[in-house]
Structure 1
Amino acid sequence: MSESMPTSYIMLVNAVLAAFIPLLVYLLYLVFIQPRFNPLRKLPGPPSKRWRADHLGMVMNPSVSPRMHEAFVKQYGRNITIRGPIPWDYRFFTLDPVALGHVMKNSHLYEKPWQSRRLITGLIGCGMLAAEGAAHKRQRRVATPAFSIQNMRALVPLVFAKGHELKERWAAMIADPIAGDSGKDARRRIDVCHWVSRATFDVIGSAGFDYQFNAIQNESNELFNAYKEMFEVAISQQQGSYRGLFAIYFPIIDVLFPDKAVRTVRRCQGVIRRVAGQLVQEKKRKIAEAEASGVAHQGKDLLSLLLRSNAAADLPPEQRISDEDILHNINTFMFAGSDTSSLSITWTLFLLARYPSIQTRLRAELLAVAPTASLAALTSEEIASLYAAVTDLPFLENVVRESLRLIPPVHSSIRVATQDDVVPTSVPVRTRMPDGSVQDLMHVMVPKGAFIHVPVEGFNMDREVWGHDAWAFNPDRWDNLPEAVASQPGLYNNTLSFSAGPRSCIGLRFSIIEIKTFLYILLTNFVFAETESQVGKANVVLTRPYVIGKHMEGSQCPLYVSPYVAEA
């Protein structure tokens, strides 16, 4: 036995070395060899002297990113290299409209990195936010009919009903003499982020799959709580820890050593699979029964429209999506449809509270089209007519545009090059050549595997494009935009707030309906003012409001809300 141990030990050492040496060689290649041939190193950019130094904190933290974006452009230009968290991670950072337009348009060349897709898939499944290539095209083709103008207009009365319900709930809260002030100047401190989120959950529950969360009234629904808790724990309260980073690269960590967040997400996903899965099957049964009786199913919710589109006779079988994909996209609609809209509404109310003169001016415009009857007494046709009048109001349009420009729901994004590419630019790029000289080139060589940082907020707030007051909330700028704005890429008014290109936001129309409807109802009934709490921005998947010093309490935006009383 004792004679065999040295042999076994040697075999073990050899096995370890056989596994370790190739890994060591690969790491040495990444650290010392690959960077020498990376063309992005030839671009100008901020220095990175320390081995672990990176620049992501500068460009992704909303409290400093506007200043850093501007400093980079002034010192290094619009097309530069920044460093990621590891020494060989050189990233292409661009504030060039031509370069950015090329990246966003060619989604087959520039995809979401597998790290981002794994994070999204682990939370809400492989819906349109995570799918790439043929899978994304197939899902988007099936979903596009559901988001037609006609179908979105049909949802207007539902959105008005939920806005009215939220208004009634707030009015009752303010009138409660125990909970708030009483009398003529009654007001109540309300976390508008929390309450608007509950309302948009109700909207997407009804509009998404004809399901009643009743979140405005209470928070007892198990499906609502599953979604809310999952998003809050996995997104709003995430700290960007090294554990989370390692778990993306080594998922076995979460399998063997799940922490509280992982266990919470798993529990919530179990509820969603059970309840939402039943909703999908029940909806399919109703559609089949309607077809069997020769009557078209009349459901206008997104799930019904999605299922009907997926079963359309002119859709080839190979282009249909599975029930699992349907569920993943319902999860995607729940996340994107409730979170982005609620944050957009919240930030707009916050800005209007900060700029009371703009709030007063907007309220006057909204009241000018208000009907004499209460919303509850209006028919669906009258609601549709009211929304048509509201959506055409010029100052409301300017306020919404300006709010989405100044605080886009997505602060920044990232893409990865799937092959070597030549990216055109609108301005010369000072590029270091192999012989040590520097030349001005009108393109950038991007190697396969390189990350491209897409500074959404940076494009929206670029003072060289939008003017010297681009960092200020000025809705009137939209009446006289600088000429440079016209060259900016973007689906929505030359901003990147709803992205651009083939992967732009499919729910743009639905989101604008929610934003304008809620602003109309809330501003014609309430006055909003800032509280003593300091609210800041945090880039946690989406741009979320937090009370300074209370980050771990989750997203919050407390405002004083008081009833609007017309002057005699």
Structure 2
Amino acid sequence: MFHVSSFWLAPAITATPATAIVLAIQAKRTLHPLALAPGLGISVWHALKVTWVVAFLGYRVVWRSFIFPIYFSKLRNIPTVPGVPLLGQFVTIISRECGVPQRRWHRKHGPIIRYYFPFGSERLSVADDALLKYITVTDPYNFPKPARAAQWMQRILGKGILLAEGRNHALQRKALTYGFSTQSIYELMAAFWEKSLLLGDILRQQMEDAGETTRSIEVLEWANRCTLDIIGRAGFGIEIDCLRDQHAPIRVAYQKVFNFGFFSRALHGLQAFFPWSKHLKSQMNRDMEDAQKIILDKATEVITARIEGSKNSKSSRGKDILALMAEENLRLETQGKPAMSKETMRDQVMTFLGAGHDTTATALVWTLHLLSIHPKIQTRLRDEIRQYMPYLFDKDCRHDPVKLDMVNPDALPYLNNVCREALRYIPPIPMTVREVRNEFTFGDYTIPAGTIIYILANAINRLEYFWGETADDFDPDRWDKLPETAGTNAFMTFLQGPRGCVGRKFAETEMKVLLCSLLSIFEFERDYQTPDPERW
């Protein structure tokens, strides 16, 4: 029986007869059960609740999980991964490296596949060249990020170019293009070299102080500290100094964001689907709030100083990306054209700080891992670096600014190939997700609004119908003789088109400089006392 709080109708004694009758009837309806069957007493509200639960389960389990996806969905003609829609392939997906199950399904079922999340929720994975071009180049703003996923990421990355959509994204990209041009990146080379060489010097000094010739280190931690220092100097003209101070506030903030246990990871993922869960009183949410405040305060401090600086004489302006962005924004304002607000520029700083350091560090570490298990490739790359930059191998000359100023990392062909191949083989961002805004037709398929589409670089980058029979091999030489099928959309590490990574040249150059610095000092071998990171 459904119990409610009892109340006595004492006011009915002094009320008018009509009022007393109405109140009495209402009280009777509330307090006395309605007999639905002999011997069974149940309140109306209880019956309604049971009916609602049964109806909801019937809708989710019978209609949405079986009847609709199999017989009525507009996506039903798309090749579908075998399985029960009620459960879907969710467990398989979350228990494997991102993109690996879809890679296997594409090989078996073709370039456009449908699979299920629990309760018949349909998902598409796309690896078709023409459809990828349509999504990324032809009509990119018809495929925004799902709103819940964007809200989850905004807490740390702000509403910068990574999460902006439509006209706002186009405006932001236009304002950022000059700062991320090839020429602008080359002018930042001194900052790249300074921090990359410092990383090598610190690691070598630690080994010398300990009297060691071999040491096992957690490279990712050091790589993150170095790339955060680089984005601080080259991106914003500030010193974060994580390499010398592991307790630098901004670094501690990102450690709270990215380093957490199983329960926190589960809650982190839950927030993409249930935004209210970010208000739960968990350690992860407290850490996220602390980190968000530190990052937001730093971004506000940086952008305020830079906006003021951009209004001064030209000689006082720096060459960092933020200075160029502020200068371009001021030019647009003076011409009466749409420009970014202070808040939008602040969000760009948040985006560059978060996405700009972690992805490059991850790419660097995966490259070192691949070189450690392919020693011949590592030796060949080191020999090329020695040929082009012999002074890097001399402890007394490696910091010579004149020599470093003459260096162009893009001039090393094998270095280019190694970096491209590492980024293809293990992309640091293995996927992106999009939601269809307006229904569209592709060939025989009708894709309705609201459809969730995954573009999985970790699947596309290693499919045989793009890369040939050696798609699963780590082979830098492939870039000297690519098959005709390996077109633009076969390499989705940075996406393509207007939504492609605006910082691609920055990341690639940074990665090359870091490799030159480290390989001129160290030889890398895999520590077989630790689990193989490629095997889950």
Give the TM-score normalised by structure 2: 0.84
Q: Which residue of 1 aligns with 2:355?
A: 336
Q: Please tell me whether Structure 1 or Structure 2 has the larger radius of gyration of its CA atoms.
A: 2
- Does residue 529 of the first structure (1) align with residue 525 of the second (2)? yes
Give the SS at the match of 2:245.
Answer: coil
**Contact 2:197 2:399 survives alignment (8 Å):** no
Are the aligned partners of 1:197 and 1:339 in contact in 2 as well (CA < 8 Å)?
Answer: yes
User: Which residue number in structure 1 is paired with residue 404 of structure 2?
Assistant: 383
Correspondence for 2:435: 416
How far the C-alpha of 1:218 sits from its partner, in A, is 1.9
Q: In 1, are the aligned partners of 2:190 and 2:405 still within 8 Å (CA)?
A: yes
* Structure with the larger RCO, 1 or 2 (CA within 8 Å, 6+ apart): 1
Q: Give the alignment of 1:24-63 within 5 angstroms.
A: 24=56, 30=64, 35=69, 36-49=71-84, 51-55=86-90, 57-58=92-93, 61-62=96-97
Q: What's the secondary structure of 1:445's corresponding residue?
A: strand
Residue 38 of structure 2 corresponds to which residue in structure 1?
Answer: none
User: For 1:334-413, what aligned pairs fall within 5 Å after superposition?
Assistant: 334-372=353-391, 374-375=396-397, 377-379=399-401, 381-386=402-407, 388=408, 390-413=409-432
Q: Is residue 2:93 matched to residue 1:92?
A: no
What is aligned with 2:500?
504
**Structure with the bigger percentage of strand:** 1
Structure 1 residues 341 and 109: CA distance shift in structure 2, 3 A? same
SS of residue in 1 equivalent to 2:525: strand
C-alpha distance after superposition, 1:302-347 (max 9, x if no partner): 2222222222146765722222221211111012211111111111
What's the secondary structure of 1:162's corresponding residue? helix
Aligned residue runs from structure 1 range 104-503, under 5 A: 104-105=136-137, 106-177=139-210, 181=212, 186-233=213-260, 241=266, 243-244=267-268, 246-255=270-279, 257-288=280-311, 290-291=312-313, 295-313=314-332, 319-372=338-391, 374-375=396-397, 377-379=399-401, 381-386=402-407, 388=408, 390-423=409-442, 442-486=443-487, 488-489=488-489, 494-503=490-499
Read off the aligned partner of 1:139 and give its amino acid letter. Q
Which residue among 509, 513, 517 is the counterpart of 1:513? Answer: 509
Q: Distance in 2 between matches of 1:400 and 1:129?
A: 23
Distance 2:273 2:416 in 1: 44
Instruction: Tell me how far 1:58 sits from its aligned partner.
Output: 3.9
- The code of the aligned residue for 1:99 comes to L
Question: Which secondary structure does the structure 2 equivalent of 1:111 belong to?
Answer: coil
Counterparts in 2 of 1:76 and 1:315: CA distance versus 1, 3 Å: farther
Pair 209,18 (structure 1): closer, same or farther in 2 beyond 3 Å: farther
* Cα distance change, pair 307–16 in 1 and its aligned pair in 2 (3 A): farther
When residues 33 and 462 of structure 1 are mapped into structure 2, their CA distance, relative to the original with a 3 A threshold, is closer
Write the deviation string for residues 77-108 of structure 1: whole angstroms up to 9, x where unpaired.
22221112332x12222222112221222211
Amino acid at match of 1:76: H
- Residue 13 (structure 1) shift: 3.6
Given residue 96 of structure 2, which amino acid in structure 1 is its aligned partner? N
Contact 1:91 1:451 in 2 (8 A): yes
SS of residue matched to 2:428: coil
User: Given residue 471 of structure 1, which amino acid in structure 2 is its aligned partner?
Assistant: D
Q: 1:315 to 1:405 in 2, by over 3 A?
A: farther
How far apart in 1 are the matches of 2:528 and 2:94?
29
**Distance in structure 1 (CA, Å) of the matches to 2:286 and 2:140:** 34
Q: Structure 2 regions of 5+ residues with no counterpart?
A: 1-6, 9-23, 33-42
Aligned residues of 1:43 and 1:80 also touching (Cα < 8 A): yes
How far 1:358 sits from its partner (Å)? 0.9
Partner secondary structure for residue 130 of structure 1: coil
CA distance in 2, matches of 1:15, 1:207: 65
Using the TM superposition, give the Cα deviation of residue 34 of structure 1 relative to its aligned residue in structure 2, in angstroms. 5.0
Q: Tell me the distance in 2 between the aligned counterparts of 1:160 and 1:284.
A: 27
Alpha carbons 2:152, 2:271 under 8 Å: kept: no
Distance 1:309 1:248, change over 3 A: same
Q: 1:273 to 1:77 in 2, by over 3 A?
A: closer
Cα deviations by residue, 1:352-404 (Å, 9 ceiling, x for unpaired): 1111111111111110112447455523x532312x1x321111111111111
For residues 396 and 124 of structure 1, what CA distance do their matches in structure 2 show? 31
Q: CA deviation at 1:419?
A: 1.2
After TM superposition, give the deviation of residue 458 of structure 1 in Å: 1.3
Give, as a single letter, the amino acid of the residue that structure 2 aligns with 1:385: M
CA contact (8 A) 2:134 2:140 kept: no
Moved more, 196-205 or 117-126: 117-126
Q: What displacement does 1:260 show?
A: 0.8
Against the structure 1 CA distance between its residues 524 and 377, is the aligned structure 2 distance closer, same or farther, given a 3 Å change threshold? Answer: closer
Q: Distance between the aligned counterparts of 1:296 and 1:316, measured in 2?
A: 21
Taking only the aligned residue pairs, the percentage that are identical comes to: 26
CA gap 1:246/1:276 in 2 versus in 1, 3 angstroms: closer
Aligned-pair distance for 1:12? 9.6
Asked whether the 8 Å contact 2:85–2:116 carries over to 1, the reply is no
How many pairs were matched up? 497
Runs of at least 5 residues in structure 1 that lack an aligned partner in the other structure:
424-441, 538-544, 549-568
Contact 1:422-1:445 at 8 Å conserved across structures: yes
CA contact (8 A) 1:115 1:248 kept: yes
Q: What RMSD over aligned residues (CA atoms) do the two structures have, in Å? A: 3.0
